[in-house]
Amino acid sequence: MSAPPSPAQQRLDAFRQLGRMQAGSLIITVFGDAVLPRGGRLWLGSLIALLEPLGLNERLVRTSVFRLVKDEWLLSEAQGRRTDYRLTPAGQRRFEEASRQIYAAESAPWDRRWRLVLTVGELDARTRDKLRRALFWQGFGEWAGGGFVHPSADLRRVFDALGSDGMDGLLPHLMPLLAANPHLGGSANDSDLVRRAWDLDELAGGYQDFVQTYQPILDELRAAGPAGDGALAWPLRVLLIHDFRRQLLRDPELPEVLLPPDWPGRRARVLCKEIYQRLLAPSEHHLDAVMRLANGDVPTATPWLQERFQHADPLVSAP
pLDDT of residue 105: 61
User: What's phi and psi for 41, nearest 5 deg?
Assistant: -120, 150
**CB proximity list for 194: less than 8 A, separation 6 or greater:** 200, 254, 258
Q: How far apart are CA 76 and CA 59, in angstroms?
A: 17
DSSP letter at 33 equals I
Beta-carbon contacts of residue 264 (< 8 Å; ≥ 6 apart): 204, 207, 208, 211
pTM confidence score: 0.85
Q: Indicate if the alpha-carbon torsion angle 24, 29, 35, 36 is positive or negative.
A: positive
The three state secondary structure string of 17-33 is HHHHHHHHHHHHHHHHH
pLDDT at 248: 87
CATH 1.10.10.10 fits 1-107+201-249+274-319, yes or no: yes
pLDDT in tens, 68-107: 999 989 999 998 899 999 999 888 877 777 676 777 766 6
pLDDT of residue 250: 87
C-alpha–C-alpha distance, residues 167 and 134, integer Å? 9
Give pLDDT < 70 ranges for the chain: 1-2, 19, 98, 100, 105-108, 144-145, 181-188, 226-230, 304-307, 309-319
* Residue-level pLDDT at 317: 28
Domain locations along the chain: 1-107+201-249+274-319, 114-179
| C-alpha to C-alpha distance for 76 and 70, rounded to whole angstroms | 11
What's the rounded Cα separation, in Å, for the pair 276 and 214?
Answer: 11
Pairing between strand 41-43 and 174-179?
Answer: unpaired
CB-CB neighbours of 59 under 10 Å: 9
pLDDT digits (tens, 9 = 90+) for 161-171: 888 778 888 88
Residues 6, 241, 296: CA angle, nearest 5 degrees: 100
Q: Are 232 and 8 in contact (CB under 8 A)?
A: yes
Question: Alpha-carbon Rg of the chain, whole angstroms?
Answer: 21
